[in-house]
Chains A and B, each alone.
Chain A
Amino acid sequence: MKELSISALNQSLKNKDFTSVELTEYFLKRIKKYNKDLNAVITSFDEKALNSAKLADEKIATGAAPDLCGIPILHKDIFCTKGELTTCGSKMLANFVSPYNATVVENFEKSGLISLGKTNMDEFAMGSSNETSYFGVVKNPWALDCVPGGSSGGSAAAIAARLAPAATATDTGGSIRQPAALCGVTGIKPTYGSVSRWGMIAFASSLDQGGPIAKTSEDCAMLLKCMASFDHKDSTSIENKRPDYVSKLYQPINGLKIGLPKEYFSEGLHPGTQKAVENAIEVLKGLGAKITEVSLPNSKLSVPAYYVIAPAEASANLSRYDGVKYGYRCKNPVDLEDLYVRTRSEGFGEEVQRRIMIGTYCLSSGYYDAYYKKAQLAKELIIQDFQTAFSDVDLIIGPTCPSPAFQHGTKSDNPVEMYLEDVYTIAVNLAGLPGMSIPCGLVSKKPVGMQIIGNYLEEPAMLQVAHQFQNVTDWHKAVPGNF
């Protein structure tokens, strides 16, 4: 059951090959068995999941169940789930039971999917290795001494270890794509505004986007169809009709123009990774794609710009955590100042505190122009780069990460080393473009991911290329040994 695709599961449930209860129990058991080795799941819903599965089975029996009804899904612990813990990987929200559901969660529940539980993540989505979570580090199923990537490390690891057929995740600078790459699974961050941010705890509002992680592109397309929706409660939600994500999947990619940014294939790229991605590109050529070189000359500005804009927005977004309305509160505050300072210093981890201070610095009087305003202008240059490239090509392809998964603790001393993990993914968030990662090789038994970037609302073409690639390759089928 763990290897079945979403559409196969869908079919099997409808055919009554097995019930949703059986399916849910199966995955809950896997979580129980393997999570202690991975620490991918913070909260398992158990009772609640089985109850939902029972209801799903009843619905399926009527013959009028929606697509995907009865399929279990894990939610990154950044999505508010009513009546259950939503921790955001932080001590600050370790006891927070949300009184409302995120729109993403509502969308899936309305379609009858079974919420299995909440996955581990870097604290407040700040990280590229899932090492900053209050609930402990997550281990990469491919190499337990290595990181799964972050911030959606829990979701990616869970899919890799087949603890669920689907998981939700979020991506602000690469947090879906990078862990998907390091764990050998498929993940997509859609165009900014596609997925509602209502109930998706904010890190950097202008960059955050939710998206699915699953075993294949086809799975992701079906999940995205359910996940993405116009939401009037989110002012940044796109009002126009969303594209039909599954529409192009099965079409051949002859003549599709693909650009390879020369800046993404230069220094800093691990040779094994480079080789894997180049091989993958050969496969695409074989499928009829036309490959050209493109240039994104302002690429080197992406990481600096991101590390101004994201922390700046985060510094304001995280001001609400003050021990007054919800969440952690320090013991016996002597006065108001003490309440704020101790609550926040005890409730937030080091990386979060650092980013808040960087953000405060970049917005402060005297520095606003040199940093925040400058970063916004740099962002414009990056957007222009992409628009220039997309006037020549349909999609842009390159490596997702500079190297395969690294060992825990090896990048913790210098924050900037960690930040450079996102060197290929960050520009996509700054531009608001859609980006996805699919597995395209193994280097020393550790997965390598290929990133596909499209122009606004071009997810169908991206999913199409990915699906066609997965039709003729097996990388996405590889499962780490013990799972």
Chain B
Amino acid sequence: MSWETVIGLEVHVQLSTNTKIFSSASTEFGNEQNSQANEIDLALPGTLPVLNKAALEYAIMFGLAIDAEINNESVFERKNYFYPDLPKGYQTTQLEKPIVGKGSVPITLSDGVIKNIGIHHAHLEEDAGKSLHSESHRDGYSLVDLNRAGTPLIEIVSEPDMRSAAEAVAFAKKLHSIVTAIGICDGDMSQGSMRFDVNISVRPAGSSEFGTRTETKNLNSFKFMEDAINLEVNRQIRVLEDGGKIMQETRLYNGVTKKSQSMRSKEEANDYRYFPCPDLLPVHVSKEFINNLRKDLPELPENKKNRYKEQYGLSEYDANELTENFLFAKFFEDSMQLFDKPKLLANWILGDVASKLNQANITLKDSLISPKHLVELLKRIEDKTISNKIAKEVFEEIFEGKGNADSIIKEKGLSQISDAKFLEELVSKVISDNPNMVEDYIKTDEGKRKKKLGGFMGQVMQKSKGQANPQQASELLIKHLNDIID
């Protein structure tokens, strides 16, 4: 039996406004518990909400970025349930009349095909607080921090258009690149700036009916999302193939144990009793308001990617990778201001820089590498002060904050040796020290000799502590070897 996977995503994006959606308390991350929860956030008796203009603007900007309908009238509703991190006992959100209507997001699949993922709608809502739990359940307690309560979110609901974990991840990454590029979200997933809920169901290939779906909540990394989807798809297929039925339920995925479990189900599904919030009036946005935002909308990743391809001749892959990550794109453009070598910069940023960041598990924002640093280093390769290989060593040092290219090269005496006399002597010595290798070289067919050079080069590099100019050394080796042959 061949199965098809059907995936829909609900993405919560924290808007990077200064203050909360309905109160003027700060949204800054990481401060002492309850130091950013004011009387409105605490739901003190008699307090009332007033809508943050920036939150509305950011939501509309998202809608514009995905070519969606912007609704002239939208309404806030109350979603009622009890939980300690929800001070009012209801969440103010939108239901029947959200701010952003239907839109679509194009993703590039692995084979290069472009697929449009439908967006059902996106709405504004407030985030809840956070809680910490004591170890034991018995006589246990929880500690509630309401700093996050009231932070503006947009919830983006996709159509169930994705058919694989890869598509879901591509979609999630695309959303991430859009919201960071237009500046409405800082994209820091470790801080919870973006959270994903995945709705997954399977059906026999070719069927048009949807299977029963399950929801896996609160995934905050692309890797976790991918793993969670694959796990759940396999689970569902196993259940169905064994003749069972899929229960509609909410599941939690544990990225550490790589297991998922059903959330303890309540006696009955929560009846949220949505109704329009009487403390807020309907939100009306004029065409003018929307057009002003459209005018000032920062460049979208898709457009930036195409521009990179045209303007700089970068490949689809490189342009995509650079523009998907807003910080990389900015780094790239800042570097380009200092050094007009787009391909070289792209290689280094997507190669060495990216891999060091990965290793250290930090983002560009937190790293010590600046465009200036990178450019200085690349200039030294260009003017042949150091070889590409040495440059990588120097880069490591720069990354750790041990100085800039010049200071490190100087300190470690890493200048490439291009002194012709020195190299001549060195090459001669290597050749004379290795008569067996020379014989081998002579015996080899001309076409295959290049490979044999490696051995000699290795010795040259070793004896010069890696500082011999490889190109020169290679030329000299070939010349001397050819002289011997002749």
Give A contacts to B, CB under 8 Å.
79-80, 86, 88, 93, 96, 98-100, 102, 197-202, 204-206, 232-236, 312-313, 315-316, 318-320, 322, 324-327, 336, 340, 360, 363-365, 368, 372
What are the residues of chain A within 8 A of B144 when measuring CB–CB?
A: 324
15 contacts between A and B (CB under 8 A): A197-B46, A201-B46, A205-B279, A232-B50, A233-B50, A235-B48, A235-B280, A315-B80, A316-B273, A320-B88, A322-B89, A326-B42, A336-B84, A363-B80, A368-B275
In whole angstroms, what is the CA distance A315 to B90 when docked? Answer: 10
What are the residues of chain A within 8 A of B274 when measuring CB–CB?
A: 363
What are the residues of chain A within 8 A of B44 when measuring CB–CB?
A: 98-100, 325-326
What are the residues of chain B within 8 A of A197 when measuring CB–CB?
A: 46, 48
What are the residues of chain B within 8 A of A235 when measuring CB–CB?
A: 48-51, 279-281
- Which residue of B50, B90, B278 contacts A205 across the interface (Cβ within 8 Å)? B278
Closest to A339 in B: B84
- Which residue of A80, A205, A322 contacts B45 across the interface (Cβ within 8 Å)? A80
Q: How many A-B residue pairs have CB under 8 A?
A: 100
Q: Check if A363 sits within 8 Å of B275, measured CB to CB.
A: yes
Closest to B85 in A: A324
Closest to B49 in A: A235
Q: Is B183 an interface residue (CB 8 A)?
A: no
What are the residues of chain B within 8 A of A88 when measuring CB–CB?
A: 45
In whole angstroms, what is the CA distance A234 to B144 when docked? Answer: 27
- Which residue of B48, B84, B271 contacts A324 across the interface (Cβ within 8 Å)? B84
Closest to A205 in B: B278
Q: Give the shortest distance, in Å, between B332 (CB) and chain A (any CB).
A: 44
What are the residues of chain A within 8 A of B46 when measuring CB–CB?
A: 79-80, 86, 98, 102, 197-202
What are the residues of chain B within 8 A of A360 when measuring CB–CB?
A: 273
Q: Give the shortest distance, in Å, between A175 (CB) and chain B (any CB).
A: 16
| Given contact pairs A88-B45, A102-B46, A363-B273, A236 touches B82 in the complex (Cβ within 8 A) | no
What are the residues of chain A within 8 A of B87 when measuring CB–CB?
A: 320, 324-325
Q: Check if B82 sits within 8 Å of A340, measured CB to CB.
A: yes
Q: Give the shortest distance, in Å, between B49 (CB) and chain A (any CB).
A: 7
Contact mask for chain B residues 34-71; partner A; CB cutoff 8 A; 1 contact, 0 none: 00000100111111111100000000000000000000
What are the residues of chain B within 8 A of A80 when measuring CB–CB?
A: 45-46
What are the residues of chain B within 8 A of A233 when measuring CB–CB?
A: 48, 50
Q: Give the shortest distance, in Å, between A469 (CB) and chain B (any CB).
A: 35
| Cβ < 8 Å to A, chain B residues 308-323 | none
What are the residues of chain B within 8 A of A198 when measuring CB–CB?
A: 46-48
What are the residues of chain B within 8 A of A204 when measuring CB–CB?
A: 278
Q: Is B174 an interface residue (CB 8 A)?
A: no
Q: Give the shortest distance, in Å, between B82 (CB) and chain A (any CB).
A: 6
What are the residues of chain B within 8 A of A236 when measuring CB–CB?
A: 48, 278-279, 281
Contact mask for chain B residues 276-316; partner A; CB cutoff 8 A; 1 contact, 0 none: 00111100000000000000000000000000000000000
Closest to A208 in B: B278
In whole angstroms, what is the CA distance A87 to B410 when docked? Answer: 75
In whole angstroms, what is the CA distance A326 to B90 when docked? Answer: 17
Q: Check if B80 sits within 8 Å of A319, measured CB to CB.
A: yes
In whole angstroms, what is the CA distance A364 to B271 when docked? Answer: 7
In whole angstroms, what is the CA distance A326 to B82 when docked? Answer: 16
In whole angstroms, what is the CA distance A372 to B275 when docked? Answer: 9
| Given contact pairs A235-B279, A360-B273, A363-B275, A316 touches B45 in the complex (Cβ within 8 A) | no
Q: Check if A100 sits within 8 Å of B271, measured CB to CB.
A: no
Q: Give the shortest distance, in Å, between A198 (CB) and chain B (any CB).
A: 6
In whole angstroms, what is the CA distance A318 to B278 when docked? Answer: 14
What are the residues of chain A within 8 A of B78 when measuring CB–CB?
A: 316
In whole angstroms, what is the CA distance A260 to B180 when docked? Answer: 63
Q: Check if B39 sits within 8 Å of A364, measured CB to CB.
A: no
Q: Check if B275 sits within 8 Å of A316, measured CB to CB.
A: yes
- Which residue of B49, B51, B82, B271 contacts A365 across the interface (Cβ within 8 Å)? B271
B45, B51, B82, B271 pick with most chain A CB within 10 angstroms: B45
Contact mask for chain B residues 200-228; partner A; CB cutoff 8 A; 1 contact, 0 none: 00000000000000000000000000000
Q: Check if A320 sits within 8 Å of B279, measured CB to CB.
A: no
What are the residues of chain B within 8 A of A336 when measuring CB–CB?
A: 84, 142
Beyond A93-B45, A325-B44, 18 additional contacts (C-beta under 8 Å) are A86-B46, A98-B46, A99-B44, A202-B46, A233-B48, A235-B51, A235-B281, A312-B275, A315-B80, A316-B78, A316-B89, A316-B90, A324-B144, A325-B43, A336-B142, A360-B273, A363-B80, A363-B273
Closest 5 CB pairs of A and B: A319-B89, A363-B273, A205-B278, A206-B278, A199-B46
In whole angstroms, what is the CA distance A195 to B84 when docked? Answer: 32
Q: Check if A364 sits within 8 Å of B273, measured CB to CB.
A: yes
In whole angstroms, what is the CA distance A340 to B279 when docked? Answer: 24
In whole angstroms, what is the CA distance A181 to B70 when docked? Answer: 50
In whole angstroms, what is the CA distance A360 to B273 when docked? Answer: 8
In whole angstroms, what is the CA distance A86 to B142 when docked? Answer: 29
What are the residues of chain B within 8 A of A86 when measuring CB–CB?
A: 45-46
In whole angstroms, what is the CA distance A96 to B45 when docked? Answer: 10
Q: Give the shortest distance, in Å, between B78 (CB) and chain A (any CB).
A: 5
Q: Check if A325 sits within 8 Å of B42, measured CB to CB.
A: yes
